[in-house]
Chains A and B, each alone.
Chain A
């Protein structure tokens, strides 16, 4: 009996770009295209029209392995999970999956707002692949985990978003497949619930089930997985023990931050296909680039290609493991904020006294205009925080005890 759970052999998945850009074609376009086809052979097979989300991907995952998929946006992680969970077919190659697969690509898939919590547990459970009897057997456990027992017979549309997310995760967490595919679902609920969810995932991983896990939070990946597979542009570029794979990924992140941002393709552009973020500049008090001092002023400037009306900006600072520390959001305005006409195509964020311990940090950036995301980049820049004084006190040497340096004062007996 083989102990291989997933065997992928030269998997490939291609998308036709033309259709994706327009969303979906209309019948008229299809008819027109069909009529034109005899006249423009050759022209249809332009290379640029096809995007390979996955290319010749081969890998073997054994029973009981907990594998983290890491990589930039658009590296093919989600596409791989979609193929393994049978949602979409590969274009080339094949994968063999042995055992019952449960996939958790989005929390709350299939929740119906009009149905009550009780009804949704059954619906969602069977959508995730549980038998009715299994759901009944674990019903109380699910309700207890989600902490919603009082609202069982209330339609889910009256739930707070926290409640419905808790319920959704609770159902999913009690799924017992042999192979579990998880995409970025732990970042839900409040901190206490997140810890509980993480504990549950840990339990699942330790029970000897096969888990394939996608998350942008490297700390979670590091805690859960034993093996890491690093994808870039649809190809495996590293397959190693988790720490090594993460190191590898961090190095590619820094490399991409040091390349010209305009050339990066792993963007969150929703509104236009235009690239907007040109460069990030991080300046310390004396004006030197990319080196700032703990406890002193720092300025993060986002240099853009053009000015758009009523722009907003969101900067997320993450530690070296990719765990977000804080988000600076211009939409949450404060009295000190100003809009200047002479600033040109750039957005600046000033931090009066940087409360970070020495170490390496990265910045994710999102630029919005007219309430819509125009451009977004993860790991748009890296910067080093040099030791300094926070509130007159020297900062800890390393970030091993947290990332934040708070100004504070002690009162001690003599």
Chain B
């Protein structure tokens, strides 16, 4: 018996649309994979648009941390005389500012991503996590540029990274996990409560000072030094310093705690996002 030709066509899938409850929803890998093209396009859009119609373009990725480095070196290095563990203060702060800027920009833009794309969210279906995730992916480009400049400055100053530089991917992964977990939660809350807009800039400033960007964490007495690594940026920042400047001891204790903490933040943030995602279109 002949088989009908249409049997070769893929059998169309039936999707059931119904009220969902709890965590039964979308961060399913299949769903994300199905919309992979859109994910790519959104990330591409975020990268392309970030510096369109700016005179300095991608240079902004570098100017921001460098500007902070100059100010911090003058105020905290010279005037306040904060210890930099014997390193030149500009290098000390810039090596921390590179990952910090990546993290704070992700928080800043990511927490607003669902609201600023309200037209899209209320008119088209797609896995909503692409919005905050796209912002973070776009941030990788900035991170790469500023990391490159950092390494040039490090060499110019007569320092050289050791093999420890191989841990950078791990450190970036920790920062990414922490950023994605936090922005997922913040962007979701922002859909319901626009208070987030006012909280985030303020929270970022506070977060800067509880992270060892302008001071070394060795200045903190134990057990607080170790405990402070619950803030994932502590492990990331100290790790970046050690990995890019090639001096000091490996802060594995901090990195380890921060990695665990970042994983918890990521899981909690995504879980919360997943729970409230279904109602975004009704509130945004």
- Measured CB to CB, the residues of A under 8 A from B are 1, 15, 19, 24-28, 30, 82-100, 103, 105-106, 109-110, 112, 114-115, 119, 122-123, 126-132, 155, 178
Contacts and interface: CB of A to CB of B under 8 A. Distances in A.
Nearest to B126: A127
A100 B122 CA distance: 19
Given A83-B17, A106-B123, A115-B49, 6 more contacts: A89-B278, A91-B19, A109-B120, A110-B124, A115-B52, A122-B41
Contact of A114 (B49, B119, B121, B279): B49
B125 interface: yes
Contacts of A95: 16-18
Contacts of A131: 37
B283 A24 contact: yes
Given A88-B281, A90-B18, A90-B19, A109 B38 contact: no
Chain B interface: which size bin?
35 or more
Contacts of B12: 98-100, 178
B225 interface: no
Interface stretch (B99-107, B162-170, B173-181, B190-198): B190-198
Given A92-B19, A94-B17, A95-B17, A126 B37 contact: yes
Interface string B15-58: 11111100000000000000001101110110011001100000
A20 B124 CA distance: 20
A374 B194 CA distance: 27
Contact of B195 (A27, A85, A100): A27
26 contacts: A24-B283, A83-B17, A86-B15, A86-B125, A87-B121, A87-B123, A87-B281, A88-B278, A88-B281, A89-B278, A94-B16, A94-B17, A94-B18, A96-B14, A96-B17, A97-B15, A97-B17, A106-B123, A109-B123, A110-B119, A112-B45, A114-B49, A123-B45, A126-B37, A127-B41, A127-B126
Contact of B20 (A89, A123, A126): A89
B222 interface: no
Given A27-B195, A30-B193, A114-B53, A127 B120 contact: yes
Which of B16, B18, B19, B53 has its CB near the most chain A CB atoms (within 10 A)?
Answer: B18
B97 to A, nearest CB: 28
Contact of A115 (B14, B45, B125, B278): B45
Contacts of B122: 87
Contacts of B194: 24, 26
Contacts of B20: 89
A120 B121 CA distance: 17
B36 to A, nearest CB: 9
Nearest to B194: A24
Which of B13, B17, B44 has its CB near the most chain A CB atoms (within 10 A)?
Answer: B17
A295 B94 CA distance: 82
Contacts of B123: 87, 103, 105-106, 109-110
Interface string B111-124: 00000000111111
Contacts of B126: 127
Contacts of A24: 192-194, 283
Contact of B49 (A86, A112, A122, A130): A112
Contacts of B195: 26-28
Q: Give 3 nearest A-B pairs by CB, closest first.
A: A94-B18, A86-B125, A27-B195
Given A25-B192, A96-B16, A97-B14, A128 B124 contact: yes
B98 to A, nearest CB: 27
Nearest to B26: A86
Contacts of B11: 1
A89 B17 contact: yes
Contacts of A86: 15, 17, 125
A97 B125 CA distance: 14
Nearest to A9: B18
A24 B193 CA distance: 7
Given A26-B193, A112-B49, A89 B119 contact: no
A83 B20 CA distance: 13
A15 B279 CA distance: 11
Contacts of A119: 45, 48
A155 B52 CA distance: 10
A130 to B, nearest CB: 8
Nearest to B41: A126
Contacts of A94: 16-19
B18 A89 contact: yes
Contacts of B193: 24-27, 30
Contacts of A87: 121-125, 281
Contacts of B42: 123
Contacts of A90: 17-19
B19 A127 contact: no
Nearest to A122: B41
Contacts of B121: 87
Contact of B15 (A30, A96, A115): A96
A126 B34 CA distance: 11
A88 B52 CA distance: 33
A85 B18 contact: no
A126 B38 contact: yes
Given A96-B14, A103-B125, A127-B38, A89 B19 contact: yes
A109 B119 contact: yes
Which of B12, B16, B53, B278 has its CB near the most chain A CB atoms (within 10 A)?
Answer: B12
Contacts of B44: 123
A94 B14 CA distance: 12
Nearest to B53: A114
Which of B40, B41, B49, B278 has its CB near the most chain A CB atoms (within 10 A)?
Answer: B41
Contact of B282 (A88, A126, A127): A88
Which of A106, A115, A127, A128 has its CB near the most chain B CB atoms (within 10 A)?
Answer: A127
B130 to A, nearest CB: 10
A145 B246 CA distance: 59
B119 A82 contact: no
A50 B18 CA distance: 19
Interface string B67-88: 0000000000000000000000
Interface in B118-175: 119-126
